[in-house]
Amino acid sequence: MHDVLARLLRDPLTHFLALGGIVFALWAALDTAPADNPAGTVSAAPVSVPDSRDILIDAAEQRLLTAYFTAQWRRLPTEAEFRELLDARIREEVLMREALALGLDRGDRVIRQRLAQKLEMTLREVAALETPTEAELAAFHARHRDRYALPPRISLTHRFVSARQHGDAAAARAAALLHALQSGDDVSADPFHAPGILLAETPDRLARVFGNTFRDAVLAAIQDGQPIGRWTGPVASPWGIHVVRIDDYQPGRQRGFAESRAAVEQDWREDAQAAAEVRRIELMRRRYRVEIAPFDPATERLQ
């Protein structure tokens, strides 16, 4: 049981929630800092840190230990199990403080990055708890209408003539292929890395598959009134020449707020998280005076 409880206390989720509590307290302290505090100076009162020889396992942390035990085992811990939880927590705290006292964290880039990443993750998760109003979401949709526009959709069939295989004769072969298809003959063509029939593709997808020149030629044909279902060409791509039949075209359109609400809320939350993280990190940074020694990498030599 002791090993199980120890593993429970080492669970990253336990650390995450504990760190979340610390961040809430830190945010409260940071929010009391004057808004006009110049960057690079320390004007807010320092966060109170317990004496390094004092270990307090308060009621909130004991509730957290109990909650995690209950979540894993579907019952409350017995009195003996709860004592083991406390012993394991105290052991972890003692080892952590002694490691810090010995400077084992200093100079270890992995540890520094891990701590920074955990704090960044906590900042994002706490910011995600914000709930937007309908008015905020509607305003967000109005500011970012282009995000929620549906692109055109194109279905087409194509036949391919390889420039590498046929060289200078590729253009003549493509012209003969176009004539045969327009006459109703079912003729073979060269293999291509994409299917011969594509359904409901966006212009961006066509560009990724066939290249920008192909995409632009197809769109131009549609804008010029190219009849649906008629073979046309030649249409060039980086690999050769295509003969194309546009089978269907659905123009793009704007989506209203009601239709795109779920996507709007997701985007609002992501933007709010990013903005809150930047804001809170800036408030944290204001608590420090930063000095950067003169240094020019161009003049340094590898030792």
pLDDT of residue 243: 95
The pLDDT of 178-188, averaged and rounded, is: 89
Asked if residue 24 has pLDDT above 70, the reply is no
- Three-state secondary-structure class, residue 251: coil
What are 184's two structure tokens? 């109703």
Q: List the single range of 8-17, 246-255, 271-280 with lowest mean pLDDT.
A: 8-17
Percentage, residues of the chain above pLDDT 90: 45
d(CA 97, CA 52): 7
Domain edges within the chain: 2-133+273-299, 152-251
| 277, 23 contact by CB (below 8 A) | no
pLDDT of residue 210: 95
pLDDT of residue 26: 45
The pLDDT of 222-248, averaged and rounded, is: 92
Architecture of domain 152-251: Roll (3.10)
Asked if residue 36 has pLDDT above 50, the reply is no
d(CA 50, CA 46): 12
Q: Give the ranges where 183-260 is alpha helix by DSSP (H).
A: 203-210, 212-223
pLDDT of residue 205: 94
pLDDT of residue 301: 58
Q: Return left, alpha or beta for 191; rule: phi > 0 is left, psi -120 to 50 is alpha, else beta.
A: beta
pLDDT of residue 27: 47
d(CA 296, CA 303): 15
Beta-carbon neighbour count of residue 107 at 10 Å?
8
**Residues near 122 by Cβ (< 8 Å), separated by ≥ 6?**
16, 19, 20, 23
Residues listed for the chain: 303
Q: C-alpha angle 264/267/268, rounded to 5°?
A: 80
Q: List the single range of 100-109, 128-137, 242-251, 266-275 with lowest mean pLDDT.
A: 100-109
This prediction has a pTM of 0.50
* 222 CB-side CA count, 13 A: 19
Which among 150, 141, 142 is positioned nearest to 267, based on CA atoms?
141
The sign of the dihedral angle between the CA atoms of 276, 281, 286, 287 is positive
Asked if residue 292 has pLDDT above 80, the reply is no
Asked if residue 207 has pLDDT above 70, the reply is yes
Q: List the single range of 12-21, 77-86, 251-260 with lowest mean pLDDT.
A: 12-21
- Residue 257: phi and psi, rounded to 5, are -60, -45
Mean pLDDT over the full length of the chain: 81
Digit-coded pLDDT (tens) for 246-268: 999 999 999 999 999 999 999 99
pLDDT band at 34 (very low <50, low <70, confident <90, very high): very low
Cis check: omega of the bond before 227, within 30 degrees of 0: no
d(CA 134, CA 131): 10
d(CA 59, CA 251): 61
The pLDDT of 233-247, averaged and rounded, is: 94
